[in-house]
Structure 1
């Protein structure tokens, strides 16, 4: 199955399901068999795989209940697991559809639904886009929920904002939306959402990631299948012996992993003619003193997130180094908690797809990049990788704005004709232009004769064109004014069709209706 040519849906209400949604059951069964092959060919990883599923579900149950969220009790500990995930954010509907669809399919297949929050991602502030009407024109503005910090932090290190802060921001936007009749549907959606928020709901949130999870769950609760789905942040996913065993296996074989990882990135860039070396991800680096970069981040008590390097000491023992190499650690330090590790993007999906889950649902970007992950799995673990799915959708604003592109194309063409061949757009009542056009046609016919002075005739044609253009000046001005107005309308239409508006401006039932 190829994901390279998939694109984000462009039309309003358009969805993307790859493979078809009805085939997810078959894909799930195929993946279960492929995971068995992993355990057959990698005996050392059998305990890791068995423990990974068990501890992940146990931690997810505890975390979800700890936030006070309704959740599905797994049919059984060995039940299939369907999951999706994302960095903490106020999602747009194109991301939310993955979650709602995951929950729906899990119920159909008697599987456990799980959402992974990548709270190990760098925090650069939290904001969202909202529409606004100014001078009767539809536009868009950016609203800040939390500003970027003065120092580098990851989401798991950012404290939860107060309920009052969240409520104040959302109420301000509701007031602004309510001023415009054209945005009343979105004001209504936000109003309904605000009524379901309360201080008690957010009392369990300790981090910003917790808060964003709760905000999302309040919104999608009306369309949750059964009792909802399980939640687990990456920070807790990593805090298990099974994840440490997974990481240690890579540390022990870092030379092979290093070469496979960088090699597959190089092939990806070459195939797609990507020149920027950090696209889609930077290569793992090698330091002059023999340290090889791992596909993990290191976090110590006095750092936020830094690259993690590994090498063997003189006795062949694995040692780790964060940052510039001035600090060293061992795998024992990870187990004790003095050094925390977090997976980079590809490493996270390797762990999830091979050791924890039976089916992972990506968005468009992740689905494309995970073709690299497939190759790494094939070469490093020497198995056929489990398949994955991709779901996306586009939902803009519910406002009656027509796409003016066809009219823009017609007007642009008419302006060009009016300036180059005025007679072709002049009305039949323009006798002054008709007379000049007749003279021009005679000169054009004359140009076909060999004895014609082409230079002189050409100048005469040019002069006639200029005279007609002068006569058409008022019409050209009118056309350009019309074009300018249409271009403003195009800006409004693009604003209306933007897909990055927050989920709470949309009725969850409307999104649910897009899922087959």
Structure 2
């Protein structure tokens, strides 16, 4: 087996300022990244499901495209997109959980659509609905007694923490009125928030599906269509119910002991490189219990909707899959991988869900489904761990991916700027005590003492002869500083005001607020301009590279 050299981990800095962004590699380099990924994939000497990786990828993409078309057609027309659908075209993909995420996440979809057009590729967004629906509310900034504050607005009552695909809407009245309540709360700061266009679509989607994730994703996708974006979407759960994903999973399970070694060694190396002590970060190592190997997969069902770790045990005759508690599946280990996958699919139709964990999700998306994957900063950071696993397990150079994010926080600009920062004011207060002579033009200080201190500072005695000099400096500082009490009170009051405004600015400038609270036209125009490469290039950040064992 050849050894694929491992590359240093890259460090991505979050763009903090309003209208700032990060795209790595830069937009004009994505064509080269795509072309290199295509060239490298053509040379992969791999087999999955008893067939070459090239044949398997083509079949999986055929399944992906038709599943996506079938899904999107259930809630909107697709004449323009469908006319360009083909498994022979390169495919660019992004993905995220179906939540009311912040604008930096939504920015990916604008770039995805633009790359689809500029690179003549198919553009598909993956709805990661096997992730946990942790919150059924969002924080919304507002003004309370004229001061910035936040309120938590719920679109559903609290419920069991389950995957999005299992998260039904429990309180339809709360869901239907959510848009009005958010608009009313943000009204002191934003006249026409995106929620006004988004939520009527979400309510219609809720009537169709009854599911939180699908309602949020479909309403956002409808808004994107109105803004001119051209992408397909597909829930990950639907791809997991197809034969291609089952064959990919079985490929991993058949080599689970070796995958364990590659996976766990890569996790340990990542922790060492990043000085991480936690055994659960970025992911736990895979466990082994009494001959059962933990797979990087989840299992859950209608009876027990909580995600559980999947364990597997493989022999020449059979493959056993279990959560080591209530669920146990046994299938024949056929000589024909497609027959084994077909039997697994049949068993899974009894309401049992077999779903990938995060690293296997992007592994499948990058190696099989797409030719270029777009990550946010968090995904790009952690998928470098996936790069190491891919190198070690598949013995190939992993495909390049793109990392991008943008910051849209216009509300912080409503807080007036200050002449001095809190750091500057704190430094000035300290100087009133230890360098009071610097304030001679702002207070009535004895000229003789000011002059004496300056002379002492210009003639510092050598070490060992400084005690009397030091005592005199201290006495002068004490005398002069006592005369600056009024100035110090003024500076302290100014510092308190600046601190309050900085706190208000931080509260209103948080990147974590949902995209739905902001004005749609302004946000959409900004993201579209950046995606087309028309925005100020100063927004593009350089990305530092950090050695693995720094």
Task: Flag whether TM exceeds 0.5 (same fold).
Answer: yes
Kindly tell me: are residues 291 and 221 of structure 1, through their superposed partners in 2, closer, same or farther at Cα, counting changes over 3 Å?
same
CA distance in 2, matches of 1:152, 1:192: 28
Change (3 A) 1:158 1:446: closer
Q: Secondary structure at the match of 1:514?
A: helix
- What's the secondary structure of 1:203's corresponding residue? helix
Aligned residues: 503
Aligned equivalent of 1:75, options 75, 85, 89: 85
**Does the alignment pair 1:260 with 2:262?**
yes
Q: SS at the partner of 1:294?
A: strand
Q: Deviations over 1:476-515 (max 9, x none)?
A: 0110110111011111222232222222213222322222
Structure-2 residue corresponding to 1:206: 210
Name whichever of 36-45 and 347-356 sits farther off: 36-45
1:22 counterpart residue number:
28
* Distance of 2:329 and 2:464 partners within structure 1: 93
Q: Map 1:93-112 to 2 at 5 A.
A: 93-112=103-122
State the alpha-carbon separation in 2 of the partners of residues 198 and 280 from structure 1.
33
CA contact (8 A) 2:241 2:345 kept: no
- Kindly report which structure 2 residues correspond to 1:245-256, keeping only aligned pairs within 5 A, or say none: 245-256=247-258
CA distance in 1, matches of 2:460, 2:380: 61
> C-alpha displacement at 1:8, in angstroms?
1.5
Equivalents in 1 of 2:293, 2:373: separation in Å? 30
Aligned pair partner of 1:171 in 180, 187, 191: 180
TM-score normalised by L of structure 2: 0.84
Give the alignment's TM-score, normalised by structure 1: 0.89
Instruction: Say whether residues 1:222 and 2:223 are aligned partners.
Output: no
Partner residue, 1:329: 329
Q: CA deviation at 1:474?
A: 1.0
1:344 and 2:319 are equivalent in the alignment: no
Structure 2 stretches lacking a partner, 5+ long: 1-6, 332-342, 534-550
Please name the residue that 1:394 is paired with. Answer: 407
SS in 1 for 2:208: coil
- Note the 1:448-487 alignment, pairs <5 A: 448=461, 455=467, 458-487=470-499
Match of 2:145 among 135, 149, 152: 135
Instruction: Mark the runs of 5 or more structure 1 residues left unpaired by the alignment.
Output: none
Cα deviations across residues 250-283 of structure 1 (Å, max 9, x unaligned)?
1111011111011111111111211112111111
Cα 1:405–1:237, aligned 2, differ >3 Å: closer, same or farther? farther
1:232 is matched with 234
2:11 partner SS: coil
Deviation at 1:365, TM superposition (A): 1.1
Q: 1:197–1:350: structure 2 CA closer, same or farther, 3 Å change rule?
A: closer
1:229-308 paired onto structure 2 within 5 Å = 229-287=231-289, 289-304=290-305, 305-308=307-310
Instruction: Please state how far the C-alpha of 1:402 moved relative to its aligned partner.
Output: 4.8
- Structure 2 distance, partners of 1:451, 1:238, is 79
Aligned residue for 1:204, secondary structure, equals helix
Distance between the aligned counterparts of 1:156 and 1:264, measured in 2? 30
Deviations 1:442-477 (A, max 9, x none): 66678738997x655644443332222221111101
1:7 pairs with one of 5, 13, 21: 13
Q: Deviations over 1:233-256 (max 9, x none)?
A: 111110011111111111111011
Q: Tell me if structure 1 keeps the 8 A contact 2:140–2:185.
A: no
SS in 2 for 1:55: helix
1:85 and 2:95 are equivalent in the alignment: yes
Pair 401,27 (structure 1): closer, same or farther in 2 beyond 3 Å: same
* Structure 1 position 32 matched with structure 2 position 38: yes
Whether the 8 Å contact between 1:13 and 1:514 is mirrored in structure 2 is no
Do the aligned partners of residues 2 and 172 (structure 1) sit closer, same or farther apart at CA in structure 2, a change above 3 Å counting? same
Alignment of 1:44-63 (within 5 A): 44-46=50-52, 48-63=56-71
Aligned mates of 1:428, 1:494 — CA distance in 2 = 32
Measure, in 2, the Cα distance between the counterparts of 1:205 and 1:509.
31
Is the Cα–Cα contact under 8 Å of residues 28 and 358 in structure 1 kept in the other structure?
A: yes
- Note closer, same or farther for the CA distance 1:384–1:481 as it changes in structure 2 (3 Å cut): same
Cα distance in 2 for residues equivalent to 1:422 and 1:500: 43
- Whether the 8 Å CA contact 2:320–2:330 is kept in 1: the answer is yes
Moved more, 304-313 or 497-506: 497-506
Q: Distance in 2 between matches of 1:373 and 1:456?
A: 66
Secondary structure in structure 2 of the residue aligned to 1:296: strand
Equivalent in the alignment of 2:165 = 156
1:490 is matched with: 502
